[in-house]
Structure 1
């Protein structure tokens, strides 16, 4: 009997220190807490599934610095990571930042469907590793090919990003023939609900269900959807997934009987509980303290606090917080109308605004795009937003399509300078009953300029029709910086309190 142990993280999103950055308190979160629980020996693998170097104020701060050796790589090395793969957010801060991280890792970067055409980053499609007990482990990495839809072209111009399924198809049998155990590291999730086998998406963004069905992986380590999957079998493959931001990690054990070929798996989601790994904590503490001081830097003042309500309430009634982001986008772009969305978890703004408020409310390094839109396009966009609501027996709730397989509040958009009405008594796709601009109902001949983030302009989140629109302008400054600059121009800001949406029944 031979054993293998795996520690697996994914979607850490730069949360290294034991804090969520909403304040400076120590909490059960972060890579330093996770890694202090690892017990590595010659029959243990430590693996990360991507979205590691973007998403927290810590990594946002790092992205603005000239780095000789990337602190995230140093931390991963101390933790003992053997393998990583790319997440889609790995590319957000550009090629040089990503290269600094990847090329300072001691572990190997595996990704069968991404190649660096310049050769600047060392990427292997797969690896065969012989453990101390003689087990031959084949490991293949791959990531969602929707990166090409979401990412700014300048950030991925050095990469060839290929179809996930066909890339696996080309190498799977080769790896299988050399290994006792085949492991997939997939920065992607499931297109079916695992409990019911109900298909939830026709998109190829997540195809883990199809991969398990068509390929004989022993273990598939998944990510991207931020779902807690403690461990279960799917079409004979043992699958796991972690929540995001380093709140939990997977510990998986396998026992392999060479004579019978029988493989038994057990796994659990472990809490990233305090204390953190102290020597690493101390080494990078001066950097973390710099980040905390930067977060507490005052940037300006608002006429009122902008605290978020629950997502359903804001979607039904509108939100001054969304209006505020939109008024910044409107001034920066000169567009007629604006739309924005909220992350699943947002902090909001105090009257006296700090950098912390901004990064905890708008955590993404999005840039802005201005599109020329017609009434027809706006109708499609607003119908997509109206599908956020489920109306049954007089009760309004959030549609399951925005909650499964992944919670996607960020795919509901709030518009400003555009007044619109949803009638939820109508069927989905026919709920938008009014769209007006400057007090006049739009006609089919009207066109407007609409500013949005580059993620949405790519058609992501069910807004594919935006890809057909004319691009009037691109603003390549990242939104957190745009918000900070806005306060530089306007040290005291009157918030737009207008309600642009009307939902029936109210």
Structure 2
């Protein structure tokens, strides 16, 4: 019997160090913490499913300093063999991503990242031959919704082609050359993993389709941040990790007359804390000092409440962000959303508070919309609610297949009423801008982030709207500048 051991991480989002950046304390978290027990040998492959470069204060600071090599070196020290690309890895531009991959010892496999000039995959499949002679074919792919979300300039050199077609072609090419085939997929499950019930049809996640229609031995998924313990789906073994290096999977594949696969998901919190010094600790210390610098003083603290309560009653935090967006763009209306986890802003605001409260790498866009489109957008937002036994709750569609509180939008500059018990699409009425009822064909200017302006999150009505203006400055920087002007205001 021959055995292969696979270590799988995904969606690290720049959380390399043992901290959550809420404070300076070391905690059992992050890649460097979990990597101390990887224990690699000649029959072990260490793989990552993408979304490495964006998401933490450390990654933002590295980007500001133009240092993608730091993330690469940290992953080199962990011993990675192969990685794929996540949608957020394009956020700082393709040149930044290329530099990261250039410094990385691991091979990159992302079949559907295609060079626009040659029409060929920039990061094709790879076959590893281990010490015991086992051949492991690894093909990767990223959700093709990158084309929906990403700024055009960040995809100027490459095209993200159809995920399924690309990975199916790769499978056909490696299946006869490999003893074990692995799909390293930065995407998740479109179906309930227990029942197989279809939960989404957008094409953003096609994990079930890959399992059902192709013959990979393992499909290592990501993107949804939804921990999945190892299980068979249509004969293919599937796992998924939580985000921010909070978990990793250790998978054992045994080959004799057949193939047997076992795995365990290991939580970072279960691993004892290390006391030794960490690589690039001086950079991490710089980050922590920067995060602790005071930006400005607000009239009052802006802390979030429970997501449902904010959706029903409004949020001072979201209202503040909308106010900043309106002042910056001079639009008539603004909409924003809050992350799934939001610490909020204390009265004395530090850099740390802003980055953790607004973690998205967004810029602002002003769209020209009609009253009809505004109502359609408000109806989409109102789909957040469900009514059961007379009690208002949150719709299951915002929880499955992944948690999506960030797709509920808060508005400023417009008022409306919601009838929670009416069917979806018929809940919104009495829409007014500056106290005046809207007109279906009248044009209005609305400000939002570039993610929402792309139509993401079910807001397809924005896709064909005329772009009045786009702003290049990151929303974090806009908030930083705005709050810094409030330094002496109390």
TM-score between the two structures when normalised by the length of structure 1: 0.94
* 1:29-428 mapped onto 2 (5 Å cutoff): 29-67=29-67, 70-117=69-116, 123-257=122-256, 260=257, 262-273=258-269, 274-275=271-272, 281-428=277-424
Change in Cα spacing, 1:276 to 1:124, as seen in structure 2 (3 Å) is farther
Measured after TM superposition, the shift of residue 172 of structure 1 is 1.5
Measured after TM superposition, the shift of residue 97 of structure 1 is 1.7
Equivalent in 457, 480, 486 of residue 484 of structure 1: 480
- 1:30-67 Cα offsets, whole Å, 9 max, x none, are 00111011011111000000001100000000001133
Question: Structure 2 stretches of 5 or more lacking a match?
Answer: none
C-alpha distance in structure 2 between counterparts of 1:446 and 1:422, whole Å: 22
Question: Structure 1 stretches of 5 or more lacking a match?
Answer: 495-506
SS in 2 for 1:254: strand
Q: Look up the match of 1:499.
A: none
C-alpha distance in structure 1 between counterparts of 2:208 and 2:222, whole Å: 13
Contact (CA 8 Å) 1:165, 1:211: kept in 2 or not? yes
Measured after TM superposition, the shift of residue 490 of structure 1 is 3.6
Measured after TM superposition, the shift of residue 385 of structure 1 is 0.8
C-alpha distance in structure 2 between counterparts of 1:368 and 1:450, whole Å: 10
Change in Cα spacing, 1:444 to 1:97, as seen in structure 2 (3 Å) is same
Contact (CA 8 Å) 1:3, 1:254: kept in 2 or not? yes
Contact (CA 8 Å) 1:379, 1:432: kept in 2 or not? yes
Q: Let me know the Cα RMSD of the aligned residues.
A: 1.6
Contact (CA 8 Å) 1:6, 1:252: kept in 2 or not? yes
Q: Do residues 433 (structure 1) and 432 (structure 2) align?
A: no
Measured after TM superposition, the shift of residue 170 of structure 1 is 2.1
Runs of 4+ in 1 over 4 A off after TM superposition: 274-279
- 1:393-435 Cα offsets, whole Å, 9 max, x none, are 1111110000000000000000001111111121111000221
Measured after TM superposition, the shift of residue 173 of structure 1 is 1.8
- 1:292-348 Cα offsets, whole Å, 9 max, x none, are 111111111111110110111001110010000001100110100100001111110
C-alpha distance in structure 1 between counterparts of 2:275 and 2:153, whole Å: 39
Measured after TM superposition, the shift of residue 123 of structure 1 is 4.0
C-alpha distance in structure 2 between counterparts of 1:370 and 1:318, whole Å: 23
SS in 2 for 1:289: helix
- 1:235-270 Cα offsets, whole Å, 9 max, x none, are 00000000001111111111111xx2x111111110
C-alpha distance in structure 1 between counterparts of 2:128 and 2:274, whole Å: 27
Measured after TM superposition, the shift of residue 275 of structure 1 is 4.8
C-alpha distance in structure 2 between counterparts of 1:445 and 1:210, whole Å: 41
- 1:424-466 Cα offsets, whole Å, 9 max, x none, are 1211110002211111111223321100000000000000110
C-alpha distance in structure 1 between counterparts of 2:273 and 2:187, whole Å: 28
C-alpha distance in structure 2 between counterparts of 1:26 and 1:123, whole Å: 38
Change in Cα spacing, 1:445 to 1:366, as seen in structure 2 (3 Å) is same
- 1:61-114 Cα offsets, whole Å, 9 max, x none, are 0001133x6111001111100000000000101122212211101010001100
SS in 1 for 2:128: strand
C-alpha distance in structure 2 between counterparts of 1:327 and 1:118, whole Å: 43
C-alpha distance in structure 1 between counterparts of 2:357 and 2:112, whole Å: 33
C-alpha distance in structure 1 between counterparts of 2:316 and 2:308, whole Å: 14
C-alpha distance in structure 2 between counterparts of 1:493 and 1:394, whole Å: 45
Q: Look up the match of 1:503.
A: none
Change in Cα spacing, 1:146 to 1:343, as seen in structure 2 (3 Å) is same
C-alpha distance in structure 2 between counterparts of 1:275 and 1:32, whole Å: 12
C-alpha distance in structure 2 between counterparts of 1:169 and 1:284, whole Å: 40
Number of residue-to-residue matches in the alignment:
488
C-alpha distance in structure 2 between counterparts of 1:414 and 1:340, whole Å: 5
C-alpha distance in structure 2 between counterparts of 1:122 and 1:438, whole Å: 52
Contact (CA 8 Å) 1:302, 1:353: kept in 2 or not? yes
> After the TM superposition, which of the residue ranges 396-405 and 160-169 deviates more from structure 2?
160-169
Measured after TM superposition, the shift of residue 392 of structure 1 is 1.3
> After the TM superposition, which of the residue ranges 455-464 and 18-27 deviates more from structure 2?
18-27
